[in-house]
């Protein structure tokens, strides 16, 4: 993660983003976030507002979105808080992108359970498709990031692409998902293993088997 | 009052104390990096680990753990020893081994504590060390961020004490970096205090970089004369040069902070110095001898037509020596308010900061009249910020300036004093400890009487509280007033008396025009405005080069000691005045500094006692007094260049150019 850095403050960046302002819809959302905190504590809304801003940037650029410095300044001004405090928050959390990303931000989990289940192959497959860590691919579609545990260890390995998780991946399944995305489709999220619904044991339940079909009362069977 | 046991010793600690404070009360030293008495608790360096029972069976960070009744604390157990060694080993994983070229070397917390609590070797010797790019923080703070151990003291200082959120910690974990937004310069008046706070060599002093080692410096206790706060400082000198000024701890005055000007104007002590006697011959200043100069002054035959004007940075002894000389000549033409102010000084309580600095923290409603406190007394501004944090309502009359706390500006017209808006009236009526602070701009407009009327109206003087304050900004002011350096009509009276000889005791801000016919003798240390206008220049000593007594704006008498010798032919001021007495054929009654001090203390006993002078109760106010006029500007135009030493200082000039006029520079470059 050490390669996280802020996009340099250049005249081009200023020219592109200085005029950033909430859309009508997002302004309503932002004010609602602020209103959920007590009077005078509007700063507490910095995280949802940064996320909202990132999404708005994403909509404007047809990507997942990121946070240019002028946009952070806009959020700071909107919340009447020092800009450095906003940048502290934005640089702390990995969910805020500090540099431009592609239309699909492919975040591959590389932590132990995923690694044991083959995340190295997943990363290799991504790279084979032309993705590179931390940069936008030539067609503007992909950005690859290796991230730490996303909490889907039971269905490892997994990737998170923008707001959706794709789990139980193999190289083929990943390719299918990515192909569908590239073609403008919306592949179903969650586990990609046929017959599996969520994170239940693969191959069917091993305990409470009678609960599968009905709300079985086990109490009579207690010895 | 919880009772705790520290290493078997039972002690009672105040409510709300932390385990670390309990250990300190028991006389145990607890190593720490992030914890600082005057900052909020962060608990992120983990150096203060101790063993506490009852509690989890692991070391606890004592700085963030409240002391509770019945705790058994151990600071000497094996667990604590290994914990400290472990933390130290972690801290040193990424800390460079560059002590020999580090300016913090010799006064570095990390260096000292690794010797005392470290394990002597690291098991991480094959790891590569993290390198972090240098961050620009302006002309005063030099950064070597690879050395940073992420204690966040600097972040907390600028947010909590200075009230200027500009330093922050970006990124996270090992990659955390301390920086200002886009590496803009830290540009408030107290920015350099983070250098003292930094426990390692990450933030060091840029002007002092590679100048000296702490152990080769002679330390002299002195008083800052850059403003009227009288901050307690330590002058570190090597040979004949003052290398740096550092704050000393005095909770009543400066706590442990110092303004950037007080800290960094010392390089001006070696520049533009008057180190020879000069006399004006055919319109030009040429070198002369002391004899020649004294003869010329005697030849003017001043008799009782001699006046003395005290500058902003002179000590009481110099002023008293001049007063004694003038007294022997039969003159009382003494004045220190160079810019022509003529406020009433019949009662010194009426021109004093009566609440005291530590007291003003407890005020709950404050009216500031004509004072840019941030520039006129940055350390008082720190106190005001504390008051505001405790809920004080602050109102300001005068042009707007950037406050570091919520404040309401009531406009520039002084007339508002007698017809305050309802919000202010109710705030002062409801206040238990209301206060007013009159600044130089208000005094210049003659608003003192109206301020006293305000004090009477809202009963600012009550049981155990005096809320009437005047905030001066010259270090010599209160001392001068105690010694009678004030005419009823101010400088105008001196000009009207048409003295034959005017002694300017380092007075650089005065207008010399009315004295065109007089022989102007400048007794001072810097070639500034006063020296340019003078007919005779007698080189004298600066505050670092003489013992002296100073009285700050709250009437606190403090002594400063001589750190170095004055350069060249320059002499301590009192010896010049003593010799001048001989030249003029009068007796002043002292032959040594001790005799002079005794005479001064006999004349004004309060100057002999360190601490607050007692000026009695406030003078009776004239209820009908009304203030008029508009405060269009504050007297200080440029924070960094308010006195001759600062004007001679390359560092202060750079600060002024970059921090105050940086935008203009950038425009000129484009």
Q: What is the pLDDT along chain A (223 residues), one digit of tens a residue?
A: 457 899 999 999 999 999 999 999 999 999 999 999 999 999 999 999 999 999 999 999 999 999 999 999 999 999 999 999 999 999 999 999 999 999 999 999 999 999 999 999 999 999 999 998 988 999 999 999 999 999 999 999 999 999 999 999 999 999 999 999 999 999 999 999 988 888 888 878 888 888 888 899 999 888 7
Instruction: Compute the C-alpha angle B304/B309/B315, nearest 5°.
Output: 120
Q: Where in chain A is the domain with CATH 3.40.30.10?
A: 104-191
Please report the pLDDT score of residue B47 as a whole number.
96
Nearest residue in B to A81, CA atom: B165
- Out of A2, A4, A85, whose CB is closest to B168? A85
Please identify, in words, the CATH class of the domain defined by A104-191: alpha beta
Q: Check which CATH number belongs to the domain holding B410 and give it.
A: 3.40.228.10
Measured between beta carbons, which residues in chain B are less than 8 angstroms from residue A91? 170-172
Contacts A6 to B, Cβ<8 Å: 170
Helix (H, G, I), strand (E, B) or coil at B41: coil
In chain A, residues with a C-beta closer than 8 Å to the C-beta of B162 are none
Residue B151: the pLDDT is 95
Considering only the beta carbons, identify the residue of A2, A87, A88 that sits closest to B175. Answer: A2
- Residues of chain B whose beta carbon is less than 8 angstroms from a beta carbon of chain A are 165-175, 180-182
Q: What is the DSSP letter of B183?
A: G
Neighbours of B31 (CB within 10 A): 21
pLDDT at B288 over 90: yes
Cβ-based contacts of B169 with chain A (< 8 Å): 88
Answer whether residue B670 is part of any domain. Answer: no
Closest chain B residue to the Cα of A1, Cα to Cα? B175
- pLDDT tens by residue, B564-583: 999 999 999 999 999 999 99
> In the A/B pair of chains, how many CB contacts fall below 8 A?
31
Q: Is 70 exceeded by the pLDDT of residue B48? A: yes
> Which residue on chain A is closest to B164 by alpha carbon?
A82
Contacts of B167 in chain A (CB under 8 A): 84
Q: A2 vs B169: CB contact, 8 Å cut-off?
A: no
- Report the residue from B169, B174, B182 with minimal CB separation from A88: B169
* One domain for residues B89 and B116: no
Structure tokens, B300? 């003017």
DSSP code at position B620: P
Contact A9 B170 (CB under 8 A): no
Q: What is the separation, in whole angstroms, between the first and last Cα of chain B?
A: 65
* Residue B187 pLDDT: 87
Q: 3-state class of B217 per DSSP? A: coil
Same domain, B78 and B132: no
User: Could you tell me if B240 and B145 lie in one domain?
Assistant: yes
CA-based nearest residue to A145, from A182, A177, A178, A105: A105
Q: Identify whether residues B80 and B123 lie together within a single domain.
A: no
The CA-atom distances, in angstroms, between B218 and each of A64, B192, B241, B507 are 61, 22, 10, 30
What does the pLDDT read at residue B663? 75
pLDDT at B432 over 90: yes
Q: Domain containing B403: what range?
A: 354-470
Same domain for B131 and B263?
A: yes
| Residue B28 covered by a domain | yes
Which of A4, A9, A84 is facing B175, going by the closest CB pair?
A4
For A83, the closest of B167, B173, B181 (CB atoms) is B181
* Cα–Cα nearest to B110, from B132, B137, B80, B90: B90
Q: For residue B397, is it within any domain?
A: yes
Q: Is residue B78 located within the same domain as residue B113?
A: no
Q: B28, B59, B93 — which closes off a domain?
A: B93
**Residue A126 assigned ligand-binding role:** no
pLDDT of residue A202: 80
Inside any domain, residue B62: yes
**Most B CBs within 10 Å, among A40, A73, A88, A93, to test the B interface:** A88
CATH number at residue B207: 3.30.70.20
What is the average per-residue pLDDT within B297-321? Answer: 95
Q: Distance between CA B375 and CA B397 in Å, rounded?
A: 16
Q: In this complex, do A91 and B172 lie within 8 Å of one another by their Cβ atoms?
A: yes
- In this complex, the residue of A1, A2, A87 whose CB is nearest that of residue B181 is A87
Mean pLDDT of chain B: 94
**Stretch among B20-34, B480-494, B543-557, B614-628 having the lowest mean pLDDT:** B614-628
Say what the pLDDT of residue B418 is: 87
In this predicted model, what pLDDT tens digit does every residue of B232-259 receive, in sequence order? 999 999 999 999 999 999 999 999 999 9
Q: Facing residues of B409 across strands?
A: B396
CB of B25 closer than 8 Å to CB of B13: yes
* Residue B170 with chain A: CB contacts under 8 Å: 6, 87-88, 91
Domain total for chain B? Answer: 3
Residues of chain A with a CB closer than 8 angstroms to some CB in chain B: 1-2, 4, 6, 9, 69, 82-85, 87-88, 91-92
CA pair distance B500, B518, nearest whole angstrom = 5
Q: Which residue of chain B has the CA closest to A5?
A: B171
Contact A92 B174 (CB under 8 A): no
Name the pLDDT band for B670 (thresholds 50, 70, 90). Answer: low
Confirm whether B413 is domain-assigned: yes
Q: What pLDDT does B424 receive? A: 95
Reported ipTM: 0.89
Distance from CA of B169 to the nearest CA of A (A): 6
Mean pLDDT of B68-72: 94
pLDDT in tens, B538-559: 999 999 999 999 999 999 999 9
- Are B263 and B115 in a shared domain? yes
B299 belongs to a structural domain: no
Q: Which of B222, B242, B270 is the last residue of a domain?
A: B270
CA distance A84 to chain B (A): 5
Q: What is the pLDDT at residue B271?
A: 94
What is the arithmetic mean of pLDDT over B170-188?
91
Q: Which of B165, B171, B172 sits opposite A85 (nearest CB)?
A: B165
**Are B137 and B71 within one domain?**
no
Q: Testing the interface with A: which of B181, B182, B184 to mutate, by most A Cβ within 10 A?
A: B181
Please answer whether residues A145 and A108 qualify as being in contact, where contact means their C-beta atoms are separated by less than 8 angstroms.
Answer: yes
CA B117, CA B84: separation in Å to the nearest integer?
6
B169 and A9 within 8 Å at the Cβ level: the answer is: no
Please state the rounded mean pLDDT for residues B340-352: 93
Please check whether residue B264 lies inside any domain of the structure: yes
pTM beyond 0.90: the answer is yes
| Same-domain check for residues B122 and B266 | yes
* Partner-chain contact B165 A84, CB within 8 Å: yes
Residue B329 CB partners (closer than 8 Å, separation 6+) = B302, B303, B304, B306, B584, B586
Please check whether residue B665 is in contact with residue B546, taking contact to mean a CB–CB distance below 8 angstroms.
no
CB contact under 8 A, B165 and A82: yes
CATH classification at residue B12:
3.10.20.740
Instruction: Report how far residue A73's alpha carbon sits from residue B460's, in angstroms, rounded to the nearest whole number.
Output: 44
Contact between residue B358 and residue B383 where contact means Cβ atoms under 8 Å apart: yes
Q: Is residue B547 part of a domain?
A: no
User: Considering CB atoms only, which of B165, B167, B171 is closest to A4?
Assistant: B171
Question: Is B168 close to A84, i.e. CB distance below 8 A?
Answer: yes
Judged by CB atoms closer than 8 Å, whether chains meet at B171 and A69 is answered as: no
Residues of B in contact with A83 (CB under 8 A): 181
Domain boundary among B220, B252, B270: B270
Q: Are B259 and B266 in contact (CB under 8 A)?
A: no
Q: From the CB of residue B29, how many other CB atoms can be counted at a distance below 10 Å?
A: 11
């Amino acid at each position: 993660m050490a390669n996280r850095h802020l996009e340099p403050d250049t005249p081009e960046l200023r020219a592109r983003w200085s005029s950033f302002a909430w859309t009508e819809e997002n302004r309503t959302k932002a004010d609602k976030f602020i209103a959920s905190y007590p009077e005078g504590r509007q700063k507490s809304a910095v995280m949802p507002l940064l996320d909202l801003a990132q999404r708005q940037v994403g909509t404007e650029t047809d990507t997942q979105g990121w946070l240019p410095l002028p946009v952070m300044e806009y959020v700071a001004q909107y919340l009447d808080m020092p800009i450095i405090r906003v940048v502290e928050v934005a640089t702390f959390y990995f969910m805020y992108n500090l540099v431009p990303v592609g239309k699909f931000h492919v975040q591959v989990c590389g932590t132990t359970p995923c690694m044991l289940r083959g995340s190295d192959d997943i990363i290799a497959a991504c790279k084979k498709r032309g993705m590179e860590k931390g940069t936008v691919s030539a067609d503007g579609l992909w950005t690859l990031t290796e991230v730490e545990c996303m909490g889907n260890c039971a269905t490892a390995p997994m990737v998170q692409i923008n707001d959706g998780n794709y789990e139980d991946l193999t190289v083929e399944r990943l390719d299918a998902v990515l192909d569908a995305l590239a073609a403008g489709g919306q592949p179903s999220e969650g586990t990609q293993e046929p017959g599996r619904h969520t994170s239940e044991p693969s191959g069917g339940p091993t305990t409470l088997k009678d609960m599968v079909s009905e709300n079985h009362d086990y109490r009579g069977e207690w010895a | 009052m919880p009772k705790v046991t520290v290493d078997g010793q039972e002690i009672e600690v105040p409510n709300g104390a932390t385990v670390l404070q309990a250990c300190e009360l028991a006389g145990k030293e607890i190593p720490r990096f992030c914890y600082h008495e005057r900052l909020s608790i962060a608990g992120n360096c983990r150096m203060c680990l101790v063993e506490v029972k009852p509690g989890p069976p692991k070391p606890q960070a004592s700085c963030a753990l409240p002391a509770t009744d019945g705790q058994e604390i151990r600071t000497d157990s094996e667990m604590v020893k290994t914990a400290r060694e472990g933390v130290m080993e972690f801290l040193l994983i990424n800390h460079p081994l560059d002590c020999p070229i580090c300016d913090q070397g010799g006064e570095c917390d990390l260096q000292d504590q690794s010797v005392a609590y470290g394990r002597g070797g690291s098991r991480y010797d094959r790891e590569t060390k993290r390198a972090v790019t240098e961050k620009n923080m302006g002309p005063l703070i030099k950064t070597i961020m690879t050395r940073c151990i992420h204690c966040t003291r600097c972040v907390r200082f600028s947010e909590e004490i200075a009230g200027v959120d500009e330093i922050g910690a970006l990124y996270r974990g090992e990659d955390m970096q301390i920086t200002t937004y886009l590496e803009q310069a830290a540009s408030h008046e107290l920015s350099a205090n983070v250098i003292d706070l930094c426990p390692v060599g990450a933030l060091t002093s840029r002007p002092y970089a590679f100048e000296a080692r702490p152990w080769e410096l002679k330390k002299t206790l002195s008083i800052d004369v850059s403003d009227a706060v009288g901050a307690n400082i330590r002058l570190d000198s090597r040979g004949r040069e003052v290398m740096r000024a550092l704050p000393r701890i005095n909770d009543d005055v400066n706590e442990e902070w110092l303004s950037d000007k007080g800290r960094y104007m010392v390089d001006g002590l070696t520049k533009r110095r008057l180190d020879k006697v000069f006399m004006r011959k055919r319109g030009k200043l040429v070198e002369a001898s002391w004899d020649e100069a004294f003869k010329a002054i005697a030849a003017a035959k001043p008799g009782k037509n001699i006046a003395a004007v005290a500058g902003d940075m002179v000590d009481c002894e110099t002023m008293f020596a001049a007063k004694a000389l003038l007294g022997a000549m039969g003159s009382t033409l003494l004045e220190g308010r160079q810019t022509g102010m003529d406020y009433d000084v019949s009662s010194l309580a009426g021109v004093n900061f009566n609440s005291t600095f530590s007291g003003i923290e407890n005020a709950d409603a404050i009216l500031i009249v004509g004072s840019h406190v941030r520039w006129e007394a940055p350390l008082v501004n720190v106190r005001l910020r504390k008051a505001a944090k405790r809920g004080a309502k602050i109102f300001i009359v005068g042009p707007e300036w950037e406050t570091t706390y919520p404040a309401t500006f009531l406009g520039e017209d002084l007339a508002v004093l007698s017809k305050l808006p309802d919000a202010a009236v109710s705030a002062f009526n409801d206040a238990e400890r209301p206060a007013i602070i009159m600044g130089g701009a208000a005094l210049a407009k003659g608003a003192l009487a109206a301020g006293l009327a305000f004090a009477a109206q809202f009963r600012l003087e009550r049981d155990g509280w005096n809320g009437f304050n005047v905030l001066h900004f010259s270090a010599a002011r209160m001392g001068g007033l105690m010694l009678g350096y004030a005419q009823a009509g101010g400088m105008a009276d001196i000009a009207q008396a048409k003295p034959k000889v005017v002694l300017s005791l380092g007075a650089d801000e005065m207008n010399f025009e009315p004295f065109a016919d007089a022989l102007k003798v400048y007794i001072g240390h810097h070639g500034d405005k006063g020296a340019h206008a003078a007919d005779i220049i007698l080189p004298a000593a600066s505050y670092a080069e003489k013992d002296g007594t100073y009285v700050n704006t709250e009437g606190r008498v403090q002594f400063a000691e001589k750190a170095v010798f004055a350069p060249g032919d320059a002499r301590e001021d009192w010896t010049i005045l003593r010799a001048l007495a001989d030249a003029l054929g009068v007796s002043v009654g002292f032959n040594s500094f001790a005799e002079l001090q005794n005479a001064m203390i006999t004349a004004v006993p309060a100057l002999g006692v360190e601490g607050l002078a007692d000026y009695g109760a406030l003078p009776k106010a004239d209820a009908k007094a009304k203030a008029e006029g508009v405060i269009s500007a504050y007297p200080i135009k440029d924070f960094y260049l308010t006195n001759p030493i600062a004007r001679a200082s390359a560092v202060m000039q750079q600060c002024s150019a970059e921090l105050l006029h940086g935008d203009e520079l950038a425009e000129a470059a484009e």
